A and B are shown apart, each in its own frame.
Chain A
Amino acid sequence: MADSICRTLRDGALEGELAPTLTIKDSLASPFAFHVFSHILLQLSSHIIAQKSQSQGIVIVALKRSPSFYAAVLNMNGVDVASSNKWIHILDCYSDPLGWKEKIRKPVNVTNCSHQISLATSSFKTVKDLDKLFLVITDLGRGLVGENKSRFCVAIDSLSELLRHASLQSVAGLLSDLRSHDQISNIFGLLHSDLHDERAVAALEYMSSMVASVDPYYHSADGQKGSLDKSFSEQNFTKGKFNVRSKRRNGRVRVTCEEFKVEPGGISFAPVLSVDETAIAGLLPKVQFNLQLSEKERIDRSNVVLPFEHQGTGKPIKIYDGRRSLEESNSEANPISSGKKEDSAVGEIIYFRDSDDEMPDSDEDPDDDLDI
């Protein structure tokens, strides 16, 4: 439910409540979380430009992609990058997360000659210090939207990278600080679930109100990866399943499933067909005859008049279904007792027991004494 996610993020947080948090997780079998991430980023930015969302700015914490990459993505999708400085700010933890380059280059830092388009960027060189990261994020956000009640959203492009640099406790602490900050409208982040132990993934899932998990379309059996199901695994590189688990305020959990498709222009979502016929056709063994009916065959079949239906010839057809027919019961306005009598006159079974030594309904085999 990519749309509903975007809507929830757009609507943001209620006064005095935690900001809605989305974790997008994927695995190597279907590594498309970043596609989803940029899809949501684009949706949110279009909402912000149209001033339809609660948040008025975005702070992107870039750990996995360079700021120029984001500039290119936004530019490609028709967002005016030049005027975007008012509502978007990138915190660059990608270029120099540990301060190595700063040490090398001494004070002369401005070698960034490369790209013509640029977004407002500030660099951050001590990724291991998450307390400082929190302060910087909130400062940047305040710089975008001002001191008043207006809010901004935070996009973290790799929680996995954060987890590599810092402990689970401090990452969880950062997230919960962000969630409870009263100027943050929503938070979304990306997680590669197979890089961490289940404990870490579960901890982060607890902290997020929505978890979108990107799953492969076909699960390949372990051990025989690759070689056997080439066609299946190839399909996994263009499409997959998109499962969303969202938690309501009252604790109700809703799980929805969608399919996504990755195309040159981006990622698109579609509801899952209830009976995926192509999948079934792929799984069934090849047989000489058809197991499925086409639409025309189905219509033809419903038009066939069955043999016992011929007798009607104009009149309503009477098919005895084991009960008294409607017509019959209508014609008898009599009390039930008389009806019973009439019924019994129509036919009865008379049965005499052969002898008294046969017990009624005995289980005894009557041919027991036969000696063959």
Chain B
Amino acid sequence: MEQKNWNLLDEALGLHNNNAKPWPLCGRFVLVEDCVDTSAAFVLHHILKRSFSSYPSSAVLFLAFCHTFSHYDRVLRKLGCNLAAQRDNGRFFFLDMLMFQCPGEGKPNYGLASVFEQIERVITVLHQEKKSISIIIDDISFLEVAANGSSDDVLNLLHYCHTLTSEYGCAFIALDHKDIYLNGDRAAVILEMEYLADILVKAEPLATGLSKDVHGQLMVLDKETQHQHGISAIKTYDFHFKIKENGIECFYPGTKI
């Protein structure tokens, strides 16, 4: 009965064929990029909702650097998903990192290493319960602030999270803002993440400006699906979206009446 609700975003992320795997994003790194004009937080909400409603054996570890639990609880409730209940069920782990700050000089790396320690502790427990796990970071730019602006440390943490994708078959999903890296010398950080990503989701405003019916466009780049048959070519999806109170609507450019 769920079938007809799949939209283009599900299709692009591969979420629609739910008989293939316990969780289609297993072992993949999804990088979501947005900009000031168009926030892509809804992609995270959407993945959360799909994970809970359509994949019974999935669990989510959520690292919040940007918003509180009650924020996400409200948003997801609108989408028809009760986060508090999922948390009590042991399927949703919320690590509140809002006040997290790496210790300054002197103890390099220790701060983020401790974050990774927390992540791994949860993952090992969940792995024993045979759950397919997603790790979601809701804002990498705040992570960078917490790391005292050291992008190298951030990349190290991301690399370690990436190793979990091959080790435990986790999915790793992170949101970052493209336009804060536009200045020349810092561009390498976002490029490095784009190289690392298996699926890249870019949210941009319409080139023609704001519109009431179209809130922006999404481009989904699905790089190599290495698990089925060697390394395959890149697939791209482009479509427009409109954010509604209780979900999103995705459609190809020009097909909305």
A residues contacting B by CB (< 8 A) are 28, 31, 34-35, 38, 66, 68-69, 72-73, 76-77, 94-98, 100-101, 103-104, 111-112, 114, 160, 164, 192, 194-196, 226-227, 230, 234, 237-238, 262-266
Complex: A71 Cα to B242 Cα, angstroms: 43
Complex: A275 Cα to B196 Cα, angstroms: 36
Which 6 pairs show the lowest CB-CB distances between chains A and B? A237-B234, A66-B166, A262-B233, A264-B232, A100-B113, A104-B117
User: Least Cβ distance of B76 to chain A in Å?
Assistant: 31
Complex: A237 Cα to B237 Cα, angstroms: 12
| B144 within 8 Å of A (CB atoms) | no
Given known A-B contacts A101-B120, A192-B195, A69 and B166 have beta carbons under 8 A apart: yes
Question: Cβ of A68 and Cβ of B166 under 8 Å apart?
Answer: yes
CB under 8 Å from chain A, chain B span 60-116: 109, 113, 116
Extra 12 A-B pairs, beta carbons < 8 Å, given A101-B120, A114-B168: A69-B226, A73-B231, A76-B230, A77-B230, A100-B113, A103-B117, A104-B120, A160-B192, A194-B191, A237-B235, A237-B236, A263-B232
CB under 8 Å from chain A, chain B span 166-201: 166-169, 188, 191-192, 194-195
Complex: A73 Cα to B124 Cα, angstroms: 27
User: Least Cβ distance of B154 to chain A in Å?
Assistant: 12
Instruction: Sample 14 A-B pairs with CB under 8 A, ordered by A number.
Output: A28-B195, A31-B223, A35-B231, A66-B166, A73-B230, A77-B230, A104-B117, A114-B168, A114-B169, A194-B191, A226-B204, A264-B230, A264-B232, A265-B229
User: Least Cβ distance of B216 to chain A in Å?
Assistant: 13
Given known A-B contacts A100-B116, A101-B120, A195-B188, A28 and B194 have beta carbons under 8 A apart: yes
| B7 within 8 Å of A (CB atoms) | no
Question: Cβ of B238 and Cβ of A230 under 8 Å apart?
Answer: yes
User: Least Cβ distance of B34 to chain A in Å?
Assistant: 15
Q: What are the residues of chain A within 8 A of B167 when measuring CB–CB?
A: 66, 95, 112, 114
User: Least Cβ distance of B238 to chain A in Å?
Assistant: 7
Q: How large is the interface on B (under 10, 10 to 19, 20 to 34, 35 or more residues)?
A: 35 or more
Complex: A77 Cα to B229 Cα, angstroms: 10
Q: What are the residues of chain A within 8 A of B226 when measuring CB–CB?
A: 69, 72
CB under 8 Å from chain A, chain B span 112-167: 113, 116-117, 120-121, 124, 152, 155-156, 159-160, 163, 166-167
B157, closest chain A residue (CB): A100
Among B167, B230, B231: residue with most chain A CB under 10 A: B231
User: Least Cβ distance of B68 to chain A in Å?
Assistant: 27
| B207 within 8 Å of A (CB atoms) | yes
Question: Cβ of B191 and Cβ of A98 under 8 Å apart?
Answer: no
Q: What are the residues of chain B within 8 A of A194 when measuring CB–CB?
A: 188, 191
A33, closest chain B residue (CB): B195
Question: Cβ of B156 and Cβ of A98 under 8 Å apart?
Answer: yes
Q: What are the residues of chain A within 8 A of B191 when measuring CB–CB?
A: 28, 192, 194-195
| B214 within 8 Å of A (CB atoms) | no
Tell me which of A72, A96, A234 contacts B163 (CB under 8 A).
A96
Complex: A164 Cα to B117 Cα, angstroms: 23
Question: Cβ of B117 and Cβ of A195 under 8 Å apart?
Answer: no
Q: What are the residues of chain A within 8 A of B44 when measuring CB–CB?
A: none
Complex: A71 Cα to B204 Cα, angstroms: 38
Question: Cβ of A238 and Cβ of B234 under 8 Å apart?
Answer: yes
Q: What are the residues of chain A within 8 A of B223 when measuring CB–CB?
A: 31
User: Least Cβ distance of A324 to chain B in Å?
Assistant: 65
| B219 within 8 Å of A (CB atoms) | yes
Question: Cβ of B231 and Cβ of A94 under 8 Å apart?
Answer: no
Complex: A102 Cα to B155 Cα, angstroms: 19
